[in-house]
Structures are given as structure tokens and as C-alpha cells.
Structure 1
Amino acid sequence: MEFDAVLIAPRRERMVAQGLWHDRTINDDLDDCVAACPDKLALTALRVEEGDTTRFTYREMARMADRIAVGLARLGVGRNDVVACQLPNWWQFTLTCLACARIGAVVNPVMHIFRERELSFMLRHGEAKVMIVPKRFRGFDFEAMLTGLQPDLPELRQVVVVGGSGDNSFEALLSGPAWEEAADAKDILSRSRPGPDDVMQLIYTSGTTGEPKGVMHTANTTMANIIPYAARLQLGSDDVVLMASPMAHQTGFMYGLMMPIMLKASAVLQDIWDPVRAVALIQSEGASFTMASTPFLTDLTRAVAEGGGAVPSLRTFLCAGAPIPGPLVEQARSVLGTKIVSAWGMTENGAVTLIELGDDEERAFNTDGHPLPGVEIKVVDEDGNALPPGESGELMLRACSNFGGYLKRPHLNGTDADGWFDTGDMARIDERGYLRITGRSKDVIIRGGENVPVVEIEALLYRHPAVQMAAIVAYPDERLGERACAVVVPRPGQSIDLPSIVDFLKHQKVALQYIPERLVVRDAMPSTPSGKIQKFRLREMLRGESA
């Protein structure tokens, strides 16, 4: 695979000179951990449904990473080849990513909620050579799905199945044999280690173009974010990071996988969100930090309040993905005894703004924090002119952690010659430099931290035989922040209801989380003179109905 990460080279000299790029990779940090604390507990992974827990010290982690790396090489994976990984928060996810780094392969984390429609595009566009999936997870047969997709994906040479029983199992191909002891293992592990500016992660984000965009990151772009992030949160080697947010999101990947290794800390993974089990994990493992979206904070606070026991070790809960209601911050602080930190970020940059640990509690629900070191933000009007504090406009950022570009779509990179990236969000910045996201210039819905690809779902709805016009808009939800509502104008003489919409989209193999959960049928759509649907009026209508 040839990667067109065109946004890296133009800023390299400046980033290194300013000390913002550190020219290290995760291999360097893992090797340092093995040298400094080989027997320290590095990873604890709980599978909720099975009830089993797997643990690795740093010595064991490095050995298994080497083993899987040589196993991947045996499957024909080499430098710049893409390995897609559609796994829950299992130890195999972490170790596969570390193994890819050992041999210069590029990991493509894929959310386990994705089905045929999303996967067929991502795997083809990213030219994945190997795809790793669970046999079954939450009642769904992933092996069967990939078996059906593989004939139409000529680049996909091998599907590897965690928990499988055949010759294609993860255990038989990667984690079972002692590949690291083979005669050629040392050569395999040393000849193609990536550099800090090589693409190491390809991760897809739902945008406004109707198809996912492949975000390319390097070690320098990710670590330039993680280092100041950990410093602001005062995290160090004594911390235990609980990660129940998906590892296939930047939240899990950067702060649940990479950050603990960079800090020589410990990580605890939970594959299915269960707040009662989370409380037990925090208590048994001494978790001191976690990051998740607002619903996780709501659920954890409720679980402790209802008798789940105290969680004194949990010092900090970073909450992002949606605004945090003020009463929730106050209740969580009281019930959990935990500092609630608000933040805002993007797949393209990682966390961009965070509040400080010493900030007043109101900053957590009135702002999204202020920029990390190495990040600049500004709010501009439609003509690109900077706006004064307090005025809302289009949010632009320039960051050391800005991605390398969108794979095969450099025309969509949204970054000007001076390095300013158009976030697609509307915001205001107060007199102290604290950010508040106020809306979106891009057409996207964020449901519990997961972006819903609005344009794609609308395009599918227009194929429904009873639909004449369709629009997907957000409506507020107390727990998830937003949910998706389909507003539909039926064809003359046709009727339509929500079950038929759901069945139709399921038949199109759409991820369940993307399917609208509410339907509004109208005789006509509010529109501009040119015929463009005025979604802001539809959103106002839904907010009014929810009031």
C-alpha cells in the first residue's frame, strides 16, 4: 500500500524544532518498559460474557507482540501492509496493534458494530491484507460475515478468527506457536520497524461525504497528543487506566492502548459496558483514570449511588463526545469523589482541548476546556476573519497532532497552506481561551460518542419505495446526547412507519447504531428557494417537541 500522508513532511522541521514531535514509536516505549519494569502488570483484560480475565506483564506483552508479529509475517504481512482488526476490548486487540508496529504494518481498527455495508467499503478502500475478527461476539457470527465478504475483496488474503476452531484461528496462526523462537524471527523483527513519520494507523471516520474517510496517523502525530494530554491530567507510571470505551476509537486506541505503555502504567480493558462490573473492576484493580462519553459517566454514577460501593481510587473521569449536564457533574463529583474533566477532540487530532484539574467544577459543564500545548484554535466568520471572544463561528485548529491526511482523498484534507484545519464545528472561545462547541457546520449526529453517517443513511432511505424525500436529523437524548430521527415525505398514495424503515435499513446491512430510532412523517419539507432542505428547522421542531 502506498500512503499519501501529505500533511506530514511540510511541518516536520517545525514540529521537531519546537520539541513537539519526539521521533519515537510505540516500539521504543515497549522496549523501555521491558528494560525498566519487565515484571510489572501491563494489561488486564476482562471478557464480561465469558467471565474470564487475562493478564500480561510487560515482559509477557513484548514476547506475545513479537510472536504475533512473526505470525503475521508468515501470512505475508510486511511493511505498509494493512491489518484490519474488528475486535472488542480484548487482549488480542492490544497485542495485534503492537505486533503490527514490530514489523511496520499499519493497523486499521474497525468498530465491532460495523456490518457488511461499512466493512465492504473500508476493507476495499484500505486494501486490508489481513482481517482479524472474533468468532462470535454479543450473539453475532463475525466469521460468517467475513466469509461472505471475502470473495469480493481481492486484496484480503486472510481472515483470522479469535476463538475459531479451524486452521484460520488466531490461536493457530498467531498466538499459539512460539514464532518468536524461530531461526528467522530476529531478522523479521528488526528489518522493517517503522519510523516515527511512517503511517502506523488507518482509522475511518464518518463524515459528510457519504462515505467514511480513512484518517492516517503516525507515531509522531499520536504521541504529540498523548504526552501533553497525560501531563495535563497528571498521569504517571503509578496510574491504572480503565478502558471500557471501544479500542477501535481514538479514545481507546490512544489513551487505553498507547498511553499506558508510554507512561509505564497499567491498563484494564472491559469489553462490554456493564457499570456494575466496571465498579468491581475499579475496586479490584485500583483504577485511577478513565475516559468515556457521557452515558458511561451517567451509568457509573448511578451504579455507585445504588449501592455498588465506593471507588476511592478513581481520581479522574475524562468525559468527551457530548456536553456534560451540570447536574451530572455535581452528582458524579459527590457520589464518585472523582474529578470530572470535560474535553473535545477529533479522530483527526485526538483530544484538542481539556479543562485543568484545578479548574472550578462549572468549567466541566460550561466549556470543553482549553488547548493542549502544541495546539492553536481560532473561531472565524464565513470570510475567514477571526472573531472576538464570545462570538460563535467556524472552528479552525492547528496542531502538532493533526493527522497525515485522508487516504486517497487529499482534496478532502481541509488543511490550508498555513496548517489550519477546518474542523466542521461551530464554536466560541471565551476571554480565558476556553472553548465551547456550539453546533456543527458539518452534517453529523453523535450518538453516545459514535458518529452517525447522515449522508449515507439518507441516500439509502431515498431507495425505499415509499420515500419521496428524507432527512436525518438529531434529537436530544438525556443519556446518549443525541439520537437520529428520520423525517420523511412519503410518495403519493404510500404510507410508511418506523418498523418498515428499520427493516429496510437492516436489509441494507447497516450497523444497528446508525438506524434512526424515531420517525416523523410530513407532507412537505421546509426548504430554501433553491430546494435545499432546511435541517435547522427540523431540529428546532424536534427540540420543541422534546421540551
Structure 2
Amino acid sequence: MGSGGLDTVGSPAFSADEAARYHADGWWSDTTLSDAVRRNAELSPGRAAYVDRPGGSLSWNEFDCGATLLAEQLASVGVVRGDRVAVWHGDSAAIHLLFVAIERCGAVVVGLGARAGPREVVRIVRDTRPKILISDRHRGHAAASVAAECAVPLLELGRRGEAPALSVETKPGALDIDCRLGPDDVFLINSTSGTTGRPKCVVHTQNRWHYFHLKAVTHGLLISDDVFLPVIATPFGFGIWTSHTTPIHLGATAVILDRFTTRAAAQAIADHRVTVLCCVSTQLTMLMADSGCRNVDLSSLRVVFTGGEAVPYRPAAEFEEITGAKILQFYGSNETGLLSGTTMDDARQRRLRTAGRVVSEMSVRLFDGDRDVTATGRGQPACRGPATSLGYLNGTDHDTLFTADGWMRMGDLCEIDAEGYLTVTGRISEFIVRGGKNISAAQVEDAVLTHPAIAVAAAVAMPDPVFGEKVCLYAELVGSHTLELAELVNHLLGLGYSKELLPERLIVVDELPRSSGGKVAKGALREDIRARMEVDDEHC
């Protein structure tokens, strides 16, 4: 499959004239991430590019040389321009080096979440049809099972000396230096939660993230001397610009945790004098709530980028007072990219109580169904501009993602005030937002219905002070069956479902409430779980 044309045919995200304008206005670049890596190696060869915790580090020169070695190895096993390479790997310096190596082959990364379960990985691999699957030792057994089920070759990314490498022979001259990707070519396919119970594959060019990078630099006053700590999984939208695109384009240093904990993050900030923390709001809430982190020196922090859901005002303001950093919230999605964002110049009330001003290059309209209600200042946002992805692979569900005239929809209800500041007021889509991660209620329901005791299931969000929301499952059971939460969780794990789909509370009912049309009345269930939790709190 071609890395450009075949993947982009039929996408209404932007026209050729719009793409030319984005280039002319400087929002889209003529250079790539691979070019930036090479430039960094020439200008700052000894500067740390990526630092693993725990583990070592790679300088920009080592990163550049390592990416070329890996690209040669990939070419030696037959990877050519237009191929897809699936990557199921934990967060580390190695995954970033591998992404650039795949780019230098002219191939497309299929980014699989490190926490994804085998069942989800199998679905994505089948949908994207990669030439090979690359994984790490930690996922060896699961990756081998996926590779066998999908009939795709598996390679393990290990080390050759200090550098990440594959256990394959390198054939001299195998890599065609003219095959590398351009900034308008597809370079990444990742997944997002779908409302149909199946993950969607989102198609990305480098330039849509280059635009986001430029806005982040402007909003956060970022410079090459900044030290980043991105603690979001690399293959996803927030992770790809905070850990890959922006550090590489700036030539800055990024510190990578193998697993997020509040103490590990705080200690990394202190040890490496981190200036830019990038995290979803739940991670920030956890960091703010951990009293032990107050004993760690966080004074190097200058800016915190966060999104996913609103941060709680009082602890966020206290965090700013303690650290001296400014918290910058933004609004967007894996599909749309940035719609709005706060800046270092915004007052605290604006930064902590809104998602910032709508950015001028992204045209935003508000809808009520198919009716344009932009003038009212409240509705479902749809956007068009240089930040958007190309949509879903093969145009799947484009009729729901895009309006009839090609504007990309969000799944929320928002208000935009007279000064252009955006606030999220509710959601249209059936998502449970746990720690900034969209979890499809339909996916949860499809998963739990594999248990023979469950006849009907409905997944809803239950409030949580740390994660914002958690998954609560209501279920009607078959006949005289009984079911406990632990049994259901073990059943799902045994089938290889991702941990994010696991219910965290199970409520068995004789009959689920239904609307007049016969559908499960999820609004009533959301009210019920809130009432139950209030009673629980009273008894604590």
C-alpha cells in the first residue's frame, strides 16, 4: 500500500488548495522528523536526545546513527516504501528511534498501545495488514501469539551493544535513501476508541503534528534547552507530539519513564531538572494529591501541558504556587488535533477553568445535529484546518466523523464565549473518559457479553476523584446465574482484552431501565450510580 495516495484517497479533511495554503502560511513544513534528527546530530551531537528511566540515554548522534542502522536492517528484511510496520513496544528511547527508522524506509508505523491486550492488537493488525510486527521482550509471548494468529512475521527489538537493534543480518545497499517519507505522506496509523465496539484506525501525516508543535512552542514559549517529561503512551495523539514530534523538531531532551507513577515522575523532574511536563489531567491530579511528592524538588518545572478533561481548580492552583510552573490546558482529539489552547499569557482563571481560545487557523463551527448553531455559542464542535488527521483508514465511518460539507466532528458539547475561550460542558459520544483515555462503552459491553452469565449489559461512567470517571457495568444475568466482579475480570483477562476495558464496579439488576423506544436508558443508570456513590460516601 502506498504511504501517501492510497491511504488518503477520499479523505475530505482538506483540499489541495487548502494544503497549499497551509504550506504557504508556514503551518506545514517541507522537512521531516528524520531531517530534524540529522540536523540535531550535526549541530548538537553530544546532547542527550532521549533518557530512559531506568536505563541509559542516547545522544543525538547516537540516535541518528541508530535510526540509520535500524532502517538498513528493516530494508534487509524487505521493508520498502509504502509498507506498514506494526510496533507493539513499551515506552522507551528505542521506540522513538524505531519510528524514525521506519520513516527512513518510507514505511508507515502502525502504533499499538503498550497496554493494549492481544485481542485489540489482533483486530488492529488485521485491519492495517502490516508487513511485519515488531515488539519487545516483555511482550514476547503475547506478540508471538498475535503474529501467529494474523500470519505476520514477528521481530524482537533488542540491543546491539548500546544501540537498539534487530536480530537480523544487514545487507549492504539494501536501504534506498530516496525512499524516505515526505511531511505530507502518511507516517502513522494509530487507534482510537470507536462507538461501534471496535477501535478505529486514524491516519496521520507528519505535518498535522508539525502544526500542533508550532502552536505548543508558541503557547508554552518552548526552546531547545527545555527538558521534557512526557508520560503519555507514545503512539497516541497527545503522546506523539509531546514525546516525539516536538522534542525532535526542537532538538531538546526527552526523559522517558517505563511506567508512570507519581513518585517516579517527581523524581525524574528533580534528577533531570525537567522544565516541561506533559500529562493527562488524571496524572496531574495524582501528582498533586501525592503528599510525598511535596518533598521532591519540582522547582525546575516551567510549564505543564495537560488535556483529556478539566483539572480541578484548587489543587491545580496550589501546584502552580508550589512549583512556579504554569498549567496549560488544550482541547482536541486524536482525530482533530488542536482546536483550542491556553497560553503562558493567559490569566490563571482562564488557564485552569477553560480549554483556552480557539486557535485562529482552525475554523470551528458548532452544531445541533446537522443544524449549524455557531451563533448561539453552544453545541457540538466541528473543525477544519491544518491540525486535522486524514480521518479513519479506508474511510470507515467518515459519514459520522465528518459533516456533509467535510468538517470533522468532536464528540462533545462545548461553549465558546465572546472572547473565544472554549469550555467543554458535556459529551455526545458514548465514551467513559478514564484518566484522559476515551473508553468506548460499546467496546466494554461487547467484551463482557462474552461471559455466559451475562444476558444484557450497559456500561456507564461513574465519577471518580482521581481518574475523573471509571467504568461501571450494569448487567442482567442469564437464568439463575450469579456473577462477581473478580470472576468477570479474570474471564476478560483470560480472553486477552485490554485492561482499560475491565469494569471497576459491577451492579447486577433484574431488569435494566429502558426508554420508550426500548433502548437502555443510560441516563437513568448514570443517575443511579451517582446516587449509590453518595450513599456509600455517607456510610464511610
State if a TM-score over 0.5 links the two structures.
yes
Q: Tell me if structure 2 keeps the 8 A contact 1:446–1:482.
A: yes
Q: Tell me if structure 2 keeps the 8 A contact 1:135–1:163.
A: no
- Is residue 2:45 matched to residue 1:42? no
Correspondence for 1:97: 99
- Give how far 1:410 is off: 4.2
Report sequence identity in percent.
Answer: 28
Correspondence for 1:158: 154
Q: Which aligned segments of 4 or more residues in structure 1 are displaced greater than 3 angstroms? A: 8-11, 161-164, 169-172, 302-307, 387-391, 416-419
- Is residue 2:110 matched to residue 1:143? no
Q: 1:410 to 1:453 in 2, by over 3 A?
A: closer
Correspondence for 2:35: 28
Whichever residue aligns with residue 147 of structure 2, its letter is Q
Correspondence for 2:19: 12
Whichever residue aligns with residue 167 of structure 2, its letter is L
Correspondence for 1:184: 173
- Is residue 2:250 matched to residue 1:250? no
In structure 2, runs of 5+ residues without a counterpart are 535-540
1:55-454 aligned at under 5 Å gives the runs 55-136=57-138, 142-154=139-151, 156-162=152-158, 171-173=165-167, 183-184=172-173, 188-303=175-290, 306-388=293-375, 390-391=377-378, 393-412=379-398, 414-416=401-403, 418-454=405-441
Provide the rounded CA distance (Å) in 1 between the counterparts of 2:293 and 2:431: 35
1:472 to 459, 480, 489: 459
SS in 2 for 1:4: helix
Q: Tell me if structure 2 keeps the 8 A contact 1:290–1:317.
A: yes
Q: Tell me if structure 2 keeps the 8 A contact 1:242–1:282.
A: yes
Provide the rounded CA distance (Å) in 1 between the counterparts of 2:46 and 2:366: 48
Whichever residue aligns with residue 65 of structure 1, its letter is A
- Give how far 1:328 is off: 1.9
Provide the rounded CA distance (Å) in 1 between the counterparts of 2:373 and 2:428: 17
- Give how far 1:29 is off: 1.6
Provide the rounded CA distance (Å) in 1 between the counterparts of 2:158 and 2:519: 47
- Give how far 1:516 is off: 0.4
Per-residue Cα deviation, 1:52-108 (whole angstroms, up to 9, x for no partner): 2x2222111111110111011112111121112122221110100011111111112
- Give how far 1:14 is off: 3.4
**TM-score, normalising length from structure 2?**
0.91
Q: Tell me if structure 2 keeps the 8 A contact 1:24–1:220.
A: no
Q: Tell me if structure 2 keeps the 8 A contact 1:283–1:311.
A: yes
Provide the rounded CA distance (Å) in 1 between the counterparts of 2:294 and 2:320: 16
- Give how far 1:449 is off: 2.0
Q: Tell me if structure 2 keeps the 8 A contact 1:354–1:369.
A: yes
May I ask how many residue pairs the two structures share in their alignment?
525
- Give how far 1:325 is off: 0.9
Q: Tell me if structure 2 keeps the 8 A contact 1:270–1:278.
A: yes
Per-residue Cα deviation, 1:435-487 (whole angstroms, up to 9, x for no partner): 11222211111211222232122123334322222100111111111100001
Q: 1:171 to 1:41 in 2, by over 3 A?
A: closer
**TM-score, normalising length from structure 1?**
0.90
Q: Tell me if structure 1 keeps the 8 A contact 2:158–2:167.
A: no
2:470 to 475, 480, 483: 483
Per-residue Cα deviation, 1:332-359 (whole angstroms, up to 9, x for no partner): 1122221111122211133332112122
Q: Tell me if structure 1 keeps the 8 A contact 2:53–2:257.
A: yes
Q: 1:407 to 1:301 in 2, by over 3 A?
A: same
Whichever residue aligns with residue 173 of structure 1, its letter is S
Correspondence for 2:528: 541
What RMSD in Å do the two structures reach over aligned CA positions? 2.3
Q: 1:4 to 1:183 in 2, by over 3 A?
A: closer
Provide the rounded CA distance (Å) in 1 between the counterparts of 2:515 and 2:365: 30
Per-residue Cα deviation, 1:278-331 (whole angstroms, up to 9, x for no partner): 222212222110111123213333456654322121111112112211122122
Q: 1:15 to 1:410 in 2, by over 3 A?
A: farther
Q: Tell me if structure 1 keeps the 8 A contact 2:159–2:166.
A: no
Correspondence for 1:139: none
Q: Tell me if structure 1 keeps the 8 A contact 2:365–2:372.
A: no
Whichever residue aligns with residue 63 of structure 1, its letter is C
